[in-house]
Amino acid sequence: MKQSDVSTLITDMGATFTRIAYIDSEGAISHIRKYLSSDFPSPTELIEQYLRDVTPPAPHQLLMAIAAPIKGDQISLSNNHWRFSLKEMANRLAVKVEPFNDFAALAASLDHLTEREVVKIDHLQEERVANEQCSKSIRSNTMLPKAVIGSGTGFGSALLIPSQKGSFTVAAEGGQALYPPQDQEEIAIVKLVEQMLHRPVTVEDLLGCQRGIPRLIMAMAKIQGQTPVDFSSAKSLLETALEKKSPFAIEVLSRYCAMLGNVAANTVLTSGALGGLYIAGGFAPRFQPFLLTSPFREAFCNRSHIDEILTEVPTYLITHPYATLIGLKQILSNHYQ
């Protein structure tokens, strides 16, 4: 069966937003729509709304990138109210349903994004020459693994592993790993959040948009004796910091970037993703200029005797708004080759 013979829906199902598209007969992504996930009792109702809005030919299959672990028939999104059965969804929609972890699907896009769809995070003068030399060797060595991480409602991660038969993705749960503080202030932050939660502190507990960043704001405010009256959420933090209304807001966002760089470095070192580290998710692209000049890269390279390894690993921000859909399209293409 050829790909052109198969009608396919692809959806990036997030806790906050869901993006849906249709693969047309030429294999192109079309009819992209974005919905607020909380507006629907279940993803099945959301997909039915999309079919009413777009009225494409009846799909035969549905590829879903889901912001949740894929373990059997029952799916539970940890950061919203959706709990559903894949079998029941398939029966109701009369389609074949194929689920994938959202960051695993995102990882499938990494080799298919253009230079205009990613931005290199590299502002350190002393490493520019090394990075230029590294970039040439990276491009010539396509067998190096790559990793993608990022904050959305929660925090996700995945790997892209090359092989002689083609690349494959590995879903990870980097957001559930314990966060390793990198200086005295972060030690104090982790201790305070640990007291709030009565358990060890994970990456998502500090860097996830829904609950993590508000905790980071509260912890830093308590440590510094600040009262962040103008911001208490990820969204309001960005507005306050980017409009330079509060030096403390700028400091919190800078700390977030440094912590993200710390997590990025640990991801590379523990996974061997020397081919590149990509930042994705719904949060970081919203403050691209700030991130590019933030402490992210310094924190990424701050590993004393092995910093020369990390200096040679390029870091990128994915700016394409539908990169996960590109990844799903690539998965579909590989499946029917």
Question: What's phi and psi for 35, nearest 5 deg?
Answer: -125, 150
pLDDT at 142: 73
Residues 6 or more apart from 270 whose CB is under 8 A from it?
none
Residues 6 or more apart from 2 whose CB is under 8 A from it?
336
How does pLDDT run along the chain (337 residues), one tens digit per residue?
Answer: 344 445 799 999 998 899 999 998 788 999 999 999 999 999 999 999 999 999 877 889 999 999 888 889 999 987 789 999 999 999 999 999 999 999 999 999 999 999 999 999 986 644 444 455 444 444 445 789 999 999 998 999 999 999 888 889 999 999 999 999 999 999 999 999 999 999 999 999 999 999 999 999 999 999 999 987 778 999 999 999 999 999 999 999 999 999 999 999 999 999 999 999 999 999 999 999 999 999 999 999 998 777 788 999 999 999 999 999 999 999 998 874 4
* Contact (CB, 8 A) for 249 and 241: yes
pLDDT at 151: 95
Of 42, 47, 48, nearest in space to 83 by CA: 42
Question: What's phi and psi for 229, nearest 5 deg?
Answer: -70, -25
Of 243, 217, 238, nearest in space to 228 by CA: 217
> The tokens 């990820």 sit on which residue?
234
- Kindly tell me the burial class for residue 177, based on how many C-beta atoms sit within 10 Å of its own C-beta (0-12, 13-18, 19 or more): middle
pLDDT at 137: 43
| DSSP string for 51-116 | HHHH-PSPPSEEEEEESS---SSEEE-TTSS-EEEHHHHHHHHTSEEEEEEHHHHHHTTGGG--GG
| Bridge pairing between strands 8-13 and 277-280 | unpaired
CA gap 14, 35 in Å, rounded = 10
| Domains within the chain, CATH numbers bracketed | 8-101+323-336 (3.30.420.40), 146-318 (3.40.367.20)
pLDDT at 333: 87
pLDDT at 304: 72
Amino acid (one-letter) located at 291: L
Q: What is this structure's pTM?
A: 0.90
CA gap 255, 219 in Å, rounded = 12
Reduced to 3 states, what is the DSSP secondary structure of residue 158? Answer: strand
Which whole-number Å values give the CA distances from 182 to 11, 262, 271, 298, in the listed order?
37, 8, 20, 12
Question: Helical H runs in 145-183?
Answer: none
